[in-house]
Amino acid sequence: MTVDKRVKQWWKHGVVYQIYPASFCDSNGDGIGDLPGITSKLDYLKDLGVDIIWVCPMYDSPQVDMGYDISNYEDVYRPYGTVEDMETLIRETHDRGMRVMLDLVINHTSDQHEWFKESRKSKDNPKRDWYIWKPARYSATGERLPPNNWRGNFGGGSVWKWDEQTQEYYLHLFAEEQPDLNWEKEEVRKAIYETSMEFWLKRGVDGFRVDTVNMYSKPPDYPDAPIIDPGAKYQPAGPLYCNGPRMHEFLDEMNAILSKYGAITVGELPNTPDMSKVLRYVSAEAKQLDMVFQFDVVDVGHGITHPLDGRPGNFTLPELKAAVERTQTLIRGTDAWTTVFFENHDQARSVSRFADDSPRHREASAKMLALMQACMSGTQYVYQGQEIGLVNAPKDSYPLENYLDLNSYLFIDMVKERYGADNAAEIDKAFDGLQYLARDHSRIPMSWNGKGKYGGFSDVAEAAGVEVKEPWMKPHPLASQINVAAQQGDPNSVLSYWKKMLAFRREHAELTVYGDYTTLRMDDEDLHLFLKEGHGPAAGSKALVVLNFTTKEKEWAVPSTEELGLPAGPEVKLEQIAATHDGKREAGEALAPLEGRVYLVKF
């Protein structure tokens, strides 16, 4: 399958901005973000250069996993607002020429969903097999064991939960309050499509980000996972429960509905390093998903036995470059499409992970990463706060008890269970892992105004004279230094730079969005050089991107004609068309710490 048609589409050159409802903007001062808060910031997003908003789950939910545990697809979590508020948000977004994507979370529901409440009642309940129930196994000594050794996605426990009442286990790949739906049953699939997709498509949403899209179909025999964490009872099993045998059949069914509405999709695709498998999801001809989020880049620096068991500096620049290249070259010679994202609600801040978040270097770092992403191929995603260069909360001003994500505290529980609840050294080491990689960092309430209360998270309510409450999660300790209001009027701010680079990306879409990407000098530990080459009618146009990932000034040699993919002979001129630092610099002039430049290759 190599059909190379790089067809232009609105959702390919459109910029997507991801919104985490609890933490974006609080309009009524109760300390929880809400839908009217989002609506109030649409002009801000339009001005930034956003074309599409993706709203993370705003459905009714007990919020064990921040709305990824849905108890009713057809209602809104009341503190966020109502279905009517959603209708207003959709209309107001459309009125500004932007579109709306919602999060589609249908691998599992909340245990408080009516379907599961029925299912757990008795073995002969009509909804029993809407979820995945299995009998226990027993050891030689008669000890009750779960059906297999799979470890859940959160913490170190089993994916199986014993139900006393009906004496069987049910499957939950995530928290025990998130039972997995039984996709084998047609009646279940039909009910899912109707309630989660059509209900909102009829209300005008333009597409979905599809949560854990490769987990619906499970291997029928539920085999044990190989032992990769020898000290542990349960083993990571992602490769076993992802990409199961009926996945593509299910996606065909979903597409029959989505295409009626012209809805777009971007699927979350964990545990799939194999490119040929990725292509089966995202080739245009296969009609499965329009885009996917591969995990190559955001997994860089993760621990091996547990993702959160990582430390700053635990990867090299060539490793990061190779990960970026894997996602970028997905479209080379294929009819597939790719995505550009360094952050989302499941990741710590990119400046802290991939560059330098010290006060001296964090702005330059944010600008360099902005420039890099603006030049990459595929649909660009920006996560709230990324546009102002928010960094991870520092260890000394954001103590462990401020971390509220279950993925974080279940990790700490796992460490306590393994090393003892009073093992301060191990717990502190685990805290280091959280400070570096926890999901909490991106979930800290947005800092709209450093002079407002709690970083201005509720600035809309404050402006209306409402007494505002402390946000649901402690505000960012650096909110007085990194916030929207302070950056808005400043042409040198990170925010102004993102705006500029998003405009640059649009202006040079042939090279940036739609061009082909090639890494030069893969082994260079300090610098990242890549080439972008126009495609189709733009064939022959080229740009060179040069990035200094270090905090030191760096010399660099101008690439040879051969490196630039040109025949030897003609004189080549490099003309600077974008940079993180002021002024034009000749190609080959030393790079300042964390400087990035883009040169048009003229020959």
Q: Shortest distance, CB of residue 194 to ligand GLC, whole angstroms?
A: 20
Nearest to ligand GLC of 41, 345 (CB atom)? 345
The yes or no reply on residue 208 touching ligand GLC (CB under 6 A) is no
Active site residue: 177, 211, 346, 533, which one?
Answer: 211
Among 11, 80, 116, 174, binds ligand GLC (CB under 6 A): 174
The yes or no reply on residue 177 touching ligand GLC (CB under 6 A) is no
Are residues 123 and 170 in contact, defined by beta-carbon separation less than 8 angstroms?
A: no
Total interface residues for Ca ion by CB under 5 A: 5
Q: CA 546, CA 531: separation in Å to the nearest integer?
A: 9
Q: Shortest distance, CB of residue 484 to ligand GLC, whole angstroms?
A: 24
Nearest to Ca ion of 30, 426 (CB atom)? 30
The yes or no reply on residue 68 touching ligand GLC (CB under 6 A) is yes
Q: Return the residues of window 264-283 that contact ligand GLC according to CB under 6 A.
A: 268
Longest dimension (CA), the chain: 80
Beta strands 168-171 and 133-134: pairing type?
antiparallel
Identify whether 211 is a catalytic site residue: yes
Are residues 193 and 148 in contact, defined by beta-carbon separation less than 8 angstroms?
A: no
Q: CA 195, CA 543: separation in Å to the nearest integer?
A: 47
Local structure of residue 4 (DSSP, 8 states):
-
Q: Which residue is nearest to ligand GLC (CB)?
A: 68
Among 60, 180, 346, 459, binds ligand GLC (CB under 6 A): 346
Would you state the structure tokens that stand for residue 480, as one six-digit string?
């007085």
Q: CA 546, CA 599: separation in Å to the nearest integer?
A: 8
The yes or no reply on residue 309 touching ligand GLC (CB under 6 A) is no
Nearest to Ca ion of 37, 270 (CB atom)? 37
Are residues 13 and 506 in contact, defined by beta-carbon separation less than 8 angstroms?
A: yes
Among 384, 352, 348, smallest CA distance to 366 is for 352
Q: CA 587, CA 578: separation in Å to the nearest integer?
A: 12
**Site track 21-40 with Ca ion (rule: CB under 5 A), x = hit:** -----x-x-x-x-x------
- CA pseudo-torsion sign 143, 411, 320, 1: positive
Would you state the structure tokens that stand for residue 454, as one six-digit string?
């709690």
Nearest to ligand GLC of 296, 346 (CB atom)? 346
Identify whether 184 is a catalytic site residue: no
Q: CA 502, CA 506: separation in Å to the nearest integer?
A: 6
Q: Shortest distance, CB of residue 585 to ligand GLC, whole angstroms?
A: 40
Q: H-type helices in 288-361, by residue range?
A: 317-328, 350-354
Q: Shortest distance, CB of residue 73 to Ca ion, whole angstroms?
A: 22
Q: Return the residues of window 100-129 that contact ligand GLC according to CB under 6 A.
A: 105
- Binding residues (CB under 5 A) for Ca ion: these are 26, 28, 30, 32, 34
Q: Would you please indicate which residues are annotated as catalytic (active-site) residues?
A: 211, 268
- Binding residues (CB under 6 A) for ligand GLC: these are 65, 68, 105, 174, 211-212, 268, 345-346
